[in-house]
Every structure is written in C-alpha cells, then in structure tokens.
Amino acid sequence: MTKIIQLSPHDPVPEHGHHGLVLRHMGEDDPNAVVTEIVFYGANAGSSAAHRPDGTAMSLEEAVAAAQAEAARRGIGTVYVLDRTQGLREREVLAGHGDHSFPEDALSDTDPEDGEQGSDLRDRAHDAGYMR
C-alpha cells in the first residue's frame, strides 16, 4: 500500500527520490481559484491537473485517492500531500477573494544572508544583479 504523508502548509516540496505529490495552491492568474495538481518524481516523472473524467476539478481527497492508486500502479511507495491554501495568511486571502492587502500587518521579504532588506529594489545590495 502506498503511504500518504501530510505536510504542513509551508513545508518545502520534496523533490528527490521516487514519490508522488498532491499539491493544492491558489491559482496564479486568479487568486480566487484553487488548483490541485498531482506530480510524480523519479523515473516516471510527470504532472497533471487533478480532474475527473468529465473534466471537472477533483477535491483534495479525490486527488489523494487518485494519486495513491496511480503511485501503487507505478510501484511508488510514498505520496506527499501539501495544501498551500491552509496557511493562516492564505486562508485570509481566500476569504478576501484574492485580496492580498493586510493593512495591520506589512509583509516582509527580507533575506539577510543575501543582503536583501526588503521587497523594494532600492533596499537590495548594489551587486544583487538587479538593474536600477
């Protein structure tokens, strides 16, 4: 039987070895949309959107069951499940219909190891590779 491992919303995506991944995340072009993908890593790598035969989107539970069955068919022993929509901030964005503004809590995009102090290009190191 293929083992299912539930990851926390902000865990890194496992990328090495032979395993499957069910990834649920907000749509890139439509923040109201939630997309579920099934990805396989290793010798039989590949990915697809999780859809039923009639073309409608699968629920997360359906996608996990489909990935587990496909992993068993491929001889893959582990399927990770990662729901990026369940983080606190992500739930707020979905509840706000894609609104990413949070006036009481400014977002931070700092990376002290790279000398980046914020998301503004003017705050980045002069040799960071960005044009000014």
The larger pLDDT score, comparing residue 97 to residue 65, is at 65
The larger pLDDT score, comparing residue 63 to residue 118, is at 63
Sheet holding 34-41, edge to edge: 3-6, 78-83, 19-26, 34-41, 46-49
Residue 52 CA to residue 58 CA, distance in Å, equals 6
The average confidence (pLDDT) of the chain is 77
pLDDT at 50: 85
Q: How confident is the model at residue 131 (pLDDT cuts 50, 70, 90)?
A: very low
Are 31 and 58 in the same domain? yes
Are 69 and 15 in the same domain? yes
Are 87 and 58 in the same domain? yes
Lowest mean pLDDT segment, chosen from 5-9, 26-30, 81-85 = 26-30
Residue 22 CA to residue 80 CA, distance in Å, equals 6
Are 79 and 111 in the same domain? no
Q: How confident is the model at residue 63 (pLDDT cuts 50, 70, 90)?
A: very high
Are 42 and 62 in the same domain? yes
Q: How confident is the model at residue 130 (pLDDT cuts 50, 70, 90)?
A: very low
Are 29 and 82 in the same domain? yes
Are 87 and 67 in the same domain? yes
DSSP E strands, 66-130: 78-83
Domain count, the chain: 2
